[in-house]
Amino acid sequence: MLASRAMRLVIKIVSVLVLVVILSITAALIVIKRAGIPTYPPGKIELKVEVTPERVERGKHTSEMLCVGCHLDNETGTLAGKPMPDLPAPVIRSYAARIRRMSAALSAGR
Ligand code: HEC
């Protein structure tokens, strides 16, 4: 008798907690639905990097270690990208323009 009372109390407490969690999530979803996901204008970034031969060499080394595997176009020898057939179709379709843009920006020294 005592055990089942204690059990009922535990079940009540757990039920109330679950209800509180569900209501909190629902309230949060309603607020987000009405007000939208908050956005913030990005702050202006002042980034000035002094270009030195050592830094250029280090960047070249880093990109050779980490980036060329995916971004190097073997035909042109540039970071223009290449097809990645193992990725889902939407990614493959979108890669070319973006990576070429990035590569053009890199070539232009920006
Ligand atoms: C595992 C493969 C992989 C590696 C490694 C990789 N990338 Fe990428 N990168 C991608 C893919 C895929 C995209 C997305 C292309 C798209 O959105 O169409 C991308 C996009 C980018 C973009 C955005 C281009 C744009 O215009 O939106 C930049 C910048 C970039 N990569 C830089 C780098 C750098 C720097 C490294 C090395 C530190 C690197 N990536 C390593 C696969 C890779």
At 30-81, the pLDDT tens digits run 998 999 888 889 899 999 999 999 999 999 999 999 999 888 888 888 888 8
What's the mean per-residue pLDDT of the chain?
Answer: 84
Establish whether residue 103 lines the binding site of ligand 1, counting it when its CB lies within 6 angstroms of any ligand atom. no
Please tell me the predicted confidence (pLDDT) of residue 81: 82
Average pLDDT over residues 102-110: 64
Report which protein residue has its CA nearest ligand 1's atom 36. Answer: 67
Looking from the CA of 36 toward its CB, the CA atoms found within 13 Å total: 3
Distance between CA atoms of residues 109 and 59, nearest Å: 13
Confidence at 3, pLDDT banded by 50, 70, 90:
confident
Report which protein residue has its CA nearest ligand 1's atom 42. Answer: 70
What does pTM read for this prediction? Answer: 0.55
For residue 82, give every residue at least 6 positions away whose Cβ sits within 8 Å of its Cβ, in sequence order, or none.
Answer: 70, 71, 72, 73, 74
- Distance of alpha carbon 61 from its chain centroid, rounded? 25
